[in-house]
Chain A
Amino acid sequence: MIPDQLFGLSSNLALPGWLILAASPLAPKWANRIGGVALPIVLCILYAAAIMAYWASGDGGFDTLANVMALFDTPGVATAGWIHFLAFDLAVGGWIVRQAQASAVPHWMVLPCLFMTLMFGPVGLLMFLTIRFVRQQLTPTASSATSA
């Protein structure tokens, strides 16, 4: 299999994962099992295989910007790096959905966070953490409710 096909395959695995997470209120348990756990695991396995197969084909390293850019000059290593994004972003998306369910964040607030995580990973996570923090501050807790 050439890097192009692997790239296509991994995208075809990640996108359904995001759709499932977006539709998670319909079947929360299974949406999390498939979109939040199983598909990220499959992407992690694909990443492991890609890095085993392609790592030695790339020049460069992690120490300088020039070396990191050199790594991404090789199709195989660049594909592996892309799967890294897909796997971690989807895993974070699943974490966001679970956390939102646990702290009762409405799904319409989660959706933009998921979209931003899909597009710009850390920005989506930051959005969700901010929303959750603000809601926790604004929600009267049991102790403050009794003292008021």
Chain B
Amino acid sequence: MTHGSTYDLDALPSANHLRIPSFPRIAGELGSLVPFAAITFLFLAMTVPTLMAMALDSRSFQGDSIWLKPLKFQLSLAIFFGTVAWFGLYTSEAFRSSRAVHLFAYIACFAALAEIAWIGGAAMFGTASHFNTSSAFMAGIYSLMGAFAVTLTASALVVGIGVLRNDSSRLALAMKHAVGWSMIVTFVATVTTAGYMASQTGHLVGDEAQRTAHWLTGWSTQVGDLRVPHFFATHAMHIVPLFALGVAIFTAGRRGQMSAAWALLLGYSAFTAHTFSEAAAGRPFLCGLL
């Protein structure tokens, strides 16, 4: 134990980081962004009664259990807000103590709660949520929910800008650009693709003689399905940083990482735009090859 006397854990500023992060510590670090973490846990918790309702309820909607859609939205929004909260840790201290950001986080989470209540409520009463214009009331809620959807998606935009504007980021510059810009791509491309989908009468483009669904994704294998570009648009902030991380690991210490990050961002955006034009033209995802 020659180094025993000099190896003083308390003197190391990083000693705290050796502990398993506790929820109060995460909440303290998140500051203004804490509603995003809270709503992540809330949506995850909601999947438990929803799964049970699925087991109890024999009603179906368009061939699936009536509770499949609420379950999918609870999980997707939990993943969305969980990511926003996580990447929010890469914004500056000033950003995370801003009252304006705190207020926005509450508004965005309220919008998300309203979406889940609307989708779950419609399922409870055995009716459609999206594309439901059967009564003036449901049509009014549907258009209001469009505005709420844009508001909640703007969390990615706001936090993405916060990540990019952090001058003392813990992330390498290329990674900072990949994370921040991919969140902005998520917002812009989601609002574009989902907004276009909402302006149609349903998510399919073209007539199916018989309803088809890919075994994993549920997307149509015969005609255009606007949920495809929506999926890739929204997951930009997952897929682009993941590939950027891969590039960073395999090319550690070499130059050109920034160019690689931007190639990923542009390439992924182009791919998303391609799936959008494909679906809008009535063609299935990758010509139905998968």
Contact = CB atoms under 8 A, between A and B. Distances in A.
Interface in A67-112: 76
Nearest to A80: B56
Contacts, number: 39
A1 B123 CA distance: 18
Interface stretch (A18-26, A47-55, A114-122): A47-55
A45 B56 CA distance: 13
Interface residues of B, number: 15
A46 B52 contact: yes
A5 to B, nearest CB: 9
Contacts of A48: 49, 52-53
Interface string A18-47: 000000000000000000000000000110
B259 to A, nearest CB: 51
Nearest to A56: B125
A49 B126 contact: no
A45 B49 contact: yes
B126 A53 contact: no
Interface in B45-101: 48-53, 55-57, 67
A6 interface: yes
B138 to A, nearest CB: 15
B120 interface: yes
Interface range, A side: 10 to 19
Given A45-B49, A52-B50, A1 B124 contact: no
B91 to A, nearest CB: 35
Contacts of A46: 52
Nearest to A79: B56
Given A1-B55, A54-B56, A49 B49 contact: yes
Contacts of B48: 45
A53 B125 contact: no
Contacts of B124: 52, 55-56
Contacts of B51: 49
Nearest to A47: B49
Interface string B111-146: 000000000100111100000000000000000000
A54 to B, nearest CB: 7
Interface in B170-190: none
A48 B224 CA distance: 37
Given A52-B124, A55-B124, A56-B125, A6 B56 contact: yes
B132 to A, nearest CB: 15
Which one of B49, B55, B56, B126 has the highest number of Cβ atoms from chain A below 10 Å of its Cβ?
B56
Which one of A6, A53, A54, A56 has the highest number of Cβ atoms from chain B below 10 Å of its Cβ?
A53
A49 B52 contact: yes
Contacts of A45: 48-49, 52
Nearest 8 pairs between A and B by C-beta?
A49-B52, A53-B57, A52-B53, A48-B49, A53-B56, A49-B53, A49-B49, A53-B53
Interface of A: 1, 6, 45-46, 48-50, 52-56, 76
30 contacts: A1-B56, A6-B56, A45-B49, A45-B52, A46-B52, A48-B49, A49-B49, A49-B50, A49-B51, A49-B52, A49-B53, A49-B56, A50-B53, A52-B49, A52-B53, A52-B57, A52-B67, A52-B120, A52-B123, A53-B56, A53-B57, A53-B67, A54-B56, A54-B57, A55-B124, A55-B125, A56-B124, A56-B125, A56-B126, A76-B56
